[in-house]
């Protein structure tokens, strides 16, 4: 059996966008995971979701892998982007749009703008 770090690396490298979260993108099980999954879902981003509640090794392993103490954690093109607060700030500032564009990740620009308008 491969260790958690190897499993995490394989998932992060195999998918353009990965969200390590509590629950799934269709059924988040904490408010922070729900917020980030909601943003990605609303913006139409194709992403892999990994439910850390289903695997204690991954739950701790992802924290060690990123050296970040909280979940959710978003990865784009193999790079750790941040948790809920960072993703929220990046969404509202337009930085997340720029990251997706620079990474060739497809998303709905109109939806991203609606999020900003609703939070202005």
Q: What is the CATH number of the domain that holds 51?
A: 3.40.30.10
Residues near 25 by beta carbon (within 8 Å), at least 6 away in sequence: 19, 37, 40, 41, 47, 49
Predicted confidence (pLDDT) at residue 66 exceeds the cutoff of 90: yes
Predicted confidence (pLDDT) at residue 70 exceeds the cutoff of 90: yes
Range of the domain at 20: 4-118
Residue 84 assigned as binding residue: no
For the chain, the average pLDDT equals 96
Number of domains forming the structure of the chain: 1
Mean pLDDT across 55-60: 94
Predicted confidence (pLDDT) at residue 65 exceeds the cutoff of 50: yes
pLDDT tens for each residue of 6-31: 999 999 999 999 999 999 999 999 99
pTM of the model: 0.95
């Amino acid at each position: 059996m491969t260790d958690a770090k190897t499993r995490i690396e394989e998932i992060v490298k195999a998918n353009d966008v990965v969200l390590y979260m509590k629950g799934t993108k269709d059924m988040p099980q904490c408010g922070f995971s729900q917020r980030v999954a909601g943003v990605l879902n609303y913006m139409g981003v194709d992403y892999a979701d990994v439910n850390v509640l289903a695997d204690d090794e991954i739950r701790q392993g992802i924290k060690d892998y990123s050296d970040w103490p909280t979940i959710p954690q978003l990865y784009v093109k193999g790079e750790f982007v941040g948790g809920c607060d960072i993703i929220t700030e990046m969404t509202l500032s337009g930085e997340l749009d720029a990251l997706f564009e620079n990474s060739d990740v497809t998303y709905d620009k109109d939806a991203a703008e609606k999020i900003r308008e609703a939070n202005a």
